Amino acid sequence: MSQKRDIDYSLYLVTGRELLPKGIDYYDSLEESLKGGVTAVQVREKTVDTGETQEICSKYNVPIIINDRIDVALAIKADGVHLGQTDMPIEIAKKLLPPSMVLGLSVSSPAEATLASKAGVDYVGIGPIWWTTSKKLTKDVIGPRGISSILDALSQSIKTIGIGGIKYRNLIRTLHGAVTASGRTLDGIAVISEIVSSSEPRKAAENLRSLHRAFTDQPHPTQPFTPWTIPTELPTRADIVHQVAKLIVETRALTPLVHQITNYVAMTQSANITLAMGASPIMATAPTEMEDLSKVCGGLLINFGTIGDFEGMLLAGEFANLNKKPVVFDPVAVGATAHRRSTANQLLNAWQATVIKGNASEIGALAGLTEVKSRGVDSIGDGFTDPATVVKELSLKERCIVVMTGKDDWISNGESVIKLSNGHHLLPGITASGCIVGSAIATYCGTVNILARRGLAESSASDGRLVLGDMLLGAVAGVLAITIASEIAGERPDVRLGHLTPEPIIRRAKITQIA
């Protein structure tokens, strides 16, 4: 009995002759893509010479899979067949295919994944992840954050491929988002237009393959804090305050540019706070500026309190990810309206947040919890009974640092939790006091990012990380700077944040290491 071929699904090309640039031959493009690192090919067209396609694939020892047409697959003795949900039933296909052929299936929900596992398919294509022009979509886009629940529903023996609108620009976002709490990741990506539509298919394939390999080659590719420094042991209070104090001084020396898309209620206060910390604010919202600003800023804050400038927010986060800059997201009043929840979901799918900062009701809304209610921008009640678990689990889910502000502030990177107990009772009574914490976090995360880049070559295309530096430290520093300054201001009205020195941080920081 022939054995099924052991297929590498890392870079799975789906052909699309109609997408070829003018003057580019289908077979030439295919061969160039194979030279660039394509590891498997699915033939989707009905009009190409499948035999010649197979001959080219065989030349590079790359398996060929036929879309939908079992008769064609059997005729050329292909390596497998891929079916959609509305194609031939899996049970019939398995009876028609020899044991040597793999069988793939498209899935877009946990329910479909469960059925695929029961049917015993060899691999699944999960999607559509992004909007795509290469195929008319009949199902909703699931986004990178929708992949993990599907992965959880699949048998461990089934290989997985992300499909739908995947491009070089969104590949790292896709891979970082498509990870389960248990650490399962995608086995590969399926690409159509990014390669087929390119006038340089070999280079396009090389770039995608290199970026995918860089992600999988990281020491801890499945951890939620992959882009950041992973400590070998938990830091002590003395370690934390020492690093925070040092960061305050370094920020004033470096004067990082902090790009802030924030609500107009908080704009002036946020700019002034940023200046007081020694950084330089730029409050730009025009979509056409986002690519250039992402190259020069230290960090990015996106605060959608007044829910405007959506296109600018979308592009700013995407370009920040591409340029490995920290993205701090403040989802103001996200639980108050369906529009805010929908907008937050779109933004978090479009780019990977580095830090999510919110009050208890906002964090609860993102986590899908109802224990803490909201009234506009405010939380109602005493907060969560187990805040450490809330921030830790949301950090794992969103694969970022989570900061939950309140009487006590809770911060997690998905592995450890830090509790900060500073602040003044008058602070919540100041307009935009929560928003300025986001500005402070973005400022110090920007400094951390700049320091991490020192001594390194410019971030290369093959670097699978999303941001450089220990962002947990930046988040802690931002919260402590504002809360401790408020304590000092409450005691001595002549002292302002701009006069804050490292000594009060060292003396006053109230930190409890939870785990």
For the annotated catalytic residues, the residue numbers are 435
Strands of 360-446, DSSP E: 373-375, 378-380, 401-405, 409-412, 417-420
Helix 201-216 / helix 168-177 crossing angle, nearest 10 deg = 20
Start-end of H helices in 255-331 = 267-276, 290-296, 310-322
Long-range contact pairs involving 424-427 (C-beta distance under 8 Å, separation at least 24): 424/483, 424/486, 424/487, 424/489, 424/490, 425/490, 426/486, 426/490, 427/482, 427/483, 427/486
Can you say whether the dihedral through the CA atoms of 169, 172, 176, 178 is positive or negative?
positive
Sheet holding 417-420, edge to edge: 280-282, 257-261, 299-303, 327-330, 355-359, 401-405, 409-412, 417-420, 511-513
Residue 13: helix, strand or coil by DSSP? strand
Backbone conformation region of residue 37, classed left if phi is above 0, alpha if psi is from -120 to 50, else beta: left
Cα→Cα distances 53→15, 49, 134, 175, 194, Å: 10, 6, 20, 29, 19
